[in-house]
Structure 1
Amino acid sequence: MNKTTSSNHSTFVIERSYPHSPSKVFSAWADKGIKAGWFSGADQFEFRVGGREFSRGGPDGGPVFTFDACYQDIVPDQRIVYSYTLDMGETRISVSVTTVEFLQDPSGTRLIYTEQGVYLDGQDTPEQREHGTKLMLDMLGKVLDGQE
């Protein structure tokens, strides 16, 4: 039996401004404890070039999602580049490369999040991923504000 496959390639960019220094916003990505406040808690967290971030979880009674990332480039307080796969159960639903830039601006930090992804076999869509990422970056702002 032949399985029909599809690959949907897409890029999205999200910008956020946070009234915090680039070093503080960067540290919310680099510190496992802080990151767990706005992103799924990592089972493995090696924040270094070539390091891995791995987490598995999901809603009660729902599918289990596996996030498996490798850090490709890190410039402290300026840029993070990582590649990652996302699986739902045993099914790979996407492969992405993400760049997060931290730019100083008069009010604090302008964060530019760029994700280039391939969404596989209709299991996920760029629109769903962009929506979820916007919610995640909003939560990052709330966590940063709570640390003052």
Structure 2
Amino acid sequence: MTIDRRLVHAGFTLTRDYPVPVERVWAAFAEEGQKVAWFHNGESYESGEWAFDFRVGGRDVAVGTFHDGPISRYEATYTDIVEHVRIVTTYDMWLDGVHMSTSVATLEFEPIAEGTRFTHVEHGVFFDQFWADGVGREEGSRGLLELLGSHLV
């Protein structure tokens, strides 16, 4: 089998308003117990390796299997953290050991009258495979923000 060698660039912005204070949304990312509860857990997700090091230069790792499918591996490095304002990460994803993508993601936390406006902006480069178009990444990120919303209320 020949692999079509190519790069696909994709980006997206997702915004959610959560009816809780910024400090509560922030804690869902900054405190390991809270992050594992929504990010590394789920009815259709079997958890594997996990590492959490929330600081500039720190690394997170989350490995698991979705829907009895391939093994997903997420490795992120925090490049900028401003408490209650923003988190910037670079991260790589693998499926069954094949390097799928590298992304830069910014997470912004803004107080609003109703609680918190959370904005996730991501730019990624996807490698080689037919699934490397970024559409699935945006869909997966939407799902994570739904899990976050359920965790917060």
TM exceeds 0.5?
Answer: yes
CA contact (8 A) 2:9 2:133 kept: no
Query: SS where residue 129 of structure 1 aligns?
Result: helix
Aligned residue for 1:79?
Answer: 86
Aligned residue for 2:136?
Answer: 128
Larger CA deviation: 60-69 vs 103-112: 60-69
Give the counterpart of 1:53 among 40, 56, 60.
60
Query: SS where residue 37 of structure 1 aligns?
Result: helix
Quote how far apart the aligned CAs of 1:119 are.
Answer: 1.2
Give the counterpart of 2:151 among 136, 139, 143.
143
Aligned residue for 1:25?
Answer: 25
After superposition, the C-alpha distances for 1:35-89 in whole angstroms (9 at most, x for unaligned) are 1121126611000000000111113642111100000000011100000000011
Closer, same or farther in 2 for the Cα pair 1:61/1:25, shift >3 Å? closer
Quote how far apart the aligned CAs of 1:11 are.
Answer: 1.1
Instruction: Write out aligned runs for 1:52-131 (5 A).
Output: 52-59=59-66, 61-121=68-128, 122-131=130-139
- Inter-partner Cα distance in structure 2 for 1:115 and 1:139: 18
Give structure 1 regions of 4+ aligned residues with deviation exceeding 4 angstroms.
none
- Inter-partner Cα distance in structure 1 for 2:132 and 2:21: 34
Aligned residue for 2:8?
Answer: 8
The AA in structure 1 aligned to 2:12 is F
Aligned CA RMSD, in angstroms, stands at 1.6
> Gaps spanning 5+ residues in structure 1: where?
none
> Gaps spanning 5+ residues in structure 2: where?
42-48
- Inter-partner Cα distance in structure 2 for 1:55 and 1:86: 10
Identity, in percent, stands at 36
Compute the TM-score of the two structures, normalised by the length of structure 2: 0.89
Compute the TM-score of the two structures, normalised by the length of structure 1: 0.91
Count of residues in correspondence between the two structures: 145
